Structure 1
Amino acid sequence: MVSPPARYLVLFQYLGSRYSGVMETSNDQSVIGVQNYLEKAAQNLKPIVPIKFHISSRTDTGVHALCNSAHLDIQRPPGKPAFNEKQLICSLNYHLRPEPIRILNAYRVTNSFHARFSALSRTYIYRVLMGCAHHSEVPVFEKDLCWAPVAS
């Protein structure tokens, strides 16, 4: 007998410099989304049904996330128990390497939970570096981590 899928809320972060944003894109694009990598890693868990990440919010090309969230359902083969949270985190992170994407935490949630529609709040941080006359003045450790409008 096939057991019902287990639903998890996962919290994850990524450096978005090399992605077209968080949402899935078609694989024929030159730059693809973080969701593509998350789902590819999840398929290594050997689910019965392909795993789809339902992400709580979107980001644009090049935008980083300190913490984003998504839910996913995992249906395992008969006789295989649901993953515990630690197993899920470790397994997904193992299959995400060497991408700059990491699962921070995972929680088993009810099947009625939805990452986007159950969210109580969202917080966005915008980092703007002021006073640069030229892009070469952006400190090395700030490259790709903030927006530096050129002073006129």
Structure 2
Amino acid sequence: MVSPPARYLVFFQYFGTKYSGVMETSNDQSIVGVQNYLEKAAQNLKPVVPIKFHISSRTDSGVHALSNSAHLDIQRAPGKPAFNEKELVYSLNYHLKPEPIRILNAHRVTSSFHARFSALSRTYVYRLLIGCAHYSEIPVFERDLCWAPVGGCLNVPAMRDAAQFLLGTHDFSTFRSLNSETPFQSPVRTILQVDIRPSSGFLSHHYEHRGLEFWELKFRSRSFLYRQCHPCCRTGVTAA
């Protein structure tokens, strides 16, 4: 007798430079999604039914995730017990090598849990680097981890004043991109948090003499519209 599938919530992170985004793509593309690698790794667990990752938060090409989440169902062969959480994390990470994708932790959840629809909030982080006259001046340890607009400085007080207009519930029609689902989605969303604050760079204390400034813009909401947060400088996403 085949045992019922066990459902797990997993949190995972990835360095997204080499991927088309988090969502699954056709395997015959030259650049595929993070989900492709997650599901390829999961098939090594020898499930009775192919494993599908249901991801809570979408990211686009080149965007990284500090902590994204997904749920998956694993049905094992008769007589095989369900994986415990540590076994699952270890096994998936083993089969993800050498991809820059890591499972952070896993939790057994009920069959009614859904990673996308049960998510309480999503947070997008943008990192800005000020002080570079040309993109070639970006420290090598910060490549693909920040956006460096050329010239000038940030008017932080004005940015913080403007951010207050985004807080709360609004119609964000003019902030979104169009896709096949756009006509069926409400453009109304509630922004719960907007923070603009100084940030540290990796090993930045070793090049303080260059006068570089790192800033972090954080946006948190229950959900966002398709590309409401433009990916040009988005470097991390946390879904919880």
Task: Give the gaps of 5 or more residues in structure 2.
Answer: 153-240
Residue of structure 2 equivalent to 1:32: 32
Residue of structure 2 equivalent to 1:119: 119
Deviation at 1:113, TM superposition (A): 0.2
Residue of structure 1 equivalent to 2:2: 2
Residue of structure 2 equivalent to 1:70: 70
- Tell me the SS of whatever aligns to 1:78: coil
TM-score, normalised relative to structure 2: 0.62
Residue of structure 2 equivalent to 1:57: 57
Deviation at 1:90, TM superposition (A): 0.2
Deviation at 1:23, TM superposition (A): 0.3
Number of equivalences: 152
- Write out aligned runs for 1:1-152 (5 A): 1-151=1-151
- Give the distance between the partners of 1:24 and 1:146, measured in 2 at CA: 25
Paired residue type of 2:148: A
Of the structure 1 ranges 44-53 and 123-132, higher mean CA displacement relative to structure 2 is found in 123-132
Once the two structures are superposed, what CA deviation does each residue of 1:73-121 show, in whole Å capped at 9, x if it has no partner? 0000000000000000000000000000000000000000000000011
- Give the distance between the partners of 1:25 and 1:60, measured in 2 at CA: 12
- Give the distance between the partners of 2:149 and 2:50, measured in 1 at CA: 43
Task: Give the gaps of 5 or more residues in structure 1.
Answer: none
- Give the distance between the partners of 2:151 and 2:16, measured in 1 at CA: 25
Paired residue type of 2:57: S
Aligned alpha-carbon RMSD (Å) = 0.9
Deviation at 1:36, TM superposition (A): 0.2
- Tell me the SS of whatever aligns to 1:94: helix
- Give the distance between the partners of 1:130 and 1:112, measured in 2 at CA: 46
Paired residue type of 1:113: F
- Tell me the SS of whatever aligns to 1:90: helix
TM-score, normalised relative to structure 1: 0.98
Larger Rg: 2
Deviation at 1:14, TM superposition (A): 0.3
